[in-house]
Amino acid sequence: MFIGHYGIGFALKKVEPRLSLGLLIFGAIMLDILFGVFLLAGVEHAKIVPGATVVSPFEFYDYPLSHSAVGALVWATAGFLAYWLWPTGDRTKRKWPAFVFAAAIFSHFILDVISHTPDMTLFGNNSPGLGLSLWNSLAGTMIVELGLFSIGIALYMSATHSISSSGKYGLSLLVLMLVVFFIANIFGPPPPDMISVGITMTIGQLALVALAFKVDRNRMVNQPGKNT
């Protein structure tokens, strides 16, 4: 899945407005960023096979650290602990936002199980694989991804309002870029090699996270009964 993950990041702002959109999106796509890092490091592997599924030209045959159920649970727990135990500020008020951040991280696994063929393993390459193969349906992929993305943006916009042009037009830019990348991913040619995939997964997505942090700094959380 691609922009469906971003939709979850947007939506969770409504659940825990104290968390920046940047951090929520980072959590929702963290397993893909890690996959990019592990690809570039030669620790995990996938290959480009045009037509592997109707929507995605990849065969993911070795990515147990970033995309197994146990791996996702470990990363979500690490995210929870990192946020909760961060050395500055008041730790006692951070358990709930830490839990929401961890939920964002683990949501990635659930959404990928919906999209992928059964290549999402429980605990490694020799364990059972999960995957509902939504990627074999173009219409299904468009409906689910754009649906999640639209709901997420609607929730984010209902939870915040812009306090500067960066908050207003920055959000439009972020949404537009994500939709363009999503369409290009589906209808464009396959990537040339896995190195460029790894770079896109890491640097490309971290640039979008940085934009999300900037947008969120330029929007204010709505108070109940006001700013509706």
Q: What's the CA angle centered on 43, arms 181 and 74, to 5 degrees? A: 80
62 binding Zn ion? (CB under 5 A): no
Structure tokens at 226: 């006001």
Piece of the chain touching Zn ion by CB under 5 A; list 24-32, 122-130, 169-177, 211-219: 24-32
Which H/E stretch holds residue 190?
A: none
Q: Cβ distance 4 to 111 under 8 Å?
A: yes
Which residue lies nearer to Zn ion by CB, 32 or 119? 32
Write the CB contacts of 162 (distance below 8 Å, at least 6 apart in sequence).
168, 171, 218, 219
Nearer to Zn ion, 10 or 135 (CB): 135
Shortest Å, Cβ 112 to Zn ion: 4
CB of 87 to Zn ion, least distance (A): 30
By CB under 5 A, residue 44 contacts Zn ion: no
Q: How far is the CB of 63 from Zn ion (least distance, A)?
A: 8
DSSP 8-state assignment for residue 219: E
> What is the C-alpha separation between 25 and 212, in angstroms, rounded?
8
**Are 128 and 33 in contact, with CB atoms under 8 Å apart?**
no
Which residue number, 33 or 159, has a Cβ lying nearer to Zn ion? 33
Determine the interface stretch with Zn ion among 29-37, 71-79, 133-141, 208-216 (rule: CB under 5 A): 29-37
Does 32 participate in binding Zn ion (rule CB under 5 A)?
yes
| Residue positions counted in the chain | 228
Q: Which of 44, 62, 112, 119 binds Zn ion (CB under 5 A)?
A: 112
- The footprint of Zn ion (CB under 5 A) covers 32, 112
